[in-house]
């Protein structure tokens, strides 16, 4: 069970939840498990099987781009999904 933090701009896709739990050995499996339950989230997160480029994914505070990408093994750490936020208003 891996915790996945949902950013505020994607919460309407998951019924307002701030955090979800997913099953899987790798970041990809965990995200696919979560997205499988929320089709609206899947539509935003994945583009033809790859993760949308505007979403950063962190595992245990490290950007998965600096690890093994979506194939990084989760090993009990939690996942944070993070798109940029524009607002300074």
Partner 1 sequence: MATYRELLAQVKGEIDELGAIEARERHGTALFVDVREREEWEEGAVPGAVHVPRGQLESRIEGLVPDRSTEIVLYCAGGSRSAFAAKALGELGYEHVSSLTGGFTDWKRNGFEVETPQALTPDQRRRYSRHLLIPEVGEAGQERLLASRALLIGAGGLGSPASLYLAAAGVGTLGIIDADVVDDSNLQRQIVHSTDSLGEPKVLSAKRTIEALNPDVEVKTYEERLTSENIERILGEGWDVIVDGADNFPTRYLVNDASVWHGIPVVHGSIYRFEGQVTVFNPGDGPCYRCLFPTPPPPELAPSCAEGGVLGVLPGIVGSLQANEALKLLLGIGESLQGRLLLLDALGTTVDEVAVQRDASCPVCGEHPTITEYVDYVEFCQGART
Name which position in 3, 9, 33, 42 contacts partner 1 (CB under 8 A): 9
Check: CB of residue 31 under 8 Å from CB of residue 51.
yes
* 24 interacts with partner 1 by CB under 8 A: no
* 38 interacts with partner 1 by CB under 8 A: no
Q: How far apart are CA 4 and CA 41, in angstroms?
A: 13
Which listed range, 23-31, 35-43, 50-58, 69-77, lies at the site for partner 1 (CB under 8 A)?
Answer: 50-58
Total Cβ atoms within 10 A of residue 51:
19
Min CB(61)–partner 1 separation in Å: 5
């Amino acid at each position: 069970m891996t915790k996945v933090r949902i950013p505020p701009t994607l919460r309407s896709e998951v019924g307002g939840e701030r955090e979800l739990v997913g099953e899987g050995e790798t970041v990809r499996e965990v995200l696919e498990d979560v997205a499988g339950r929320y089709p609206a989230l899947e539509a935003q997160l994945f583009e033809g099987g790859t993760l949308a480029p505007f979403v950063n994914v962190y595992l245990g505070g490290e950007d998965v781009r600096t690890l093994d990408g979506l194939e990084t093994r989760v090993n009990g750490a939690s996942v944070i999904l993070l798109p940029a936020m524009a607002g300074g208003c």
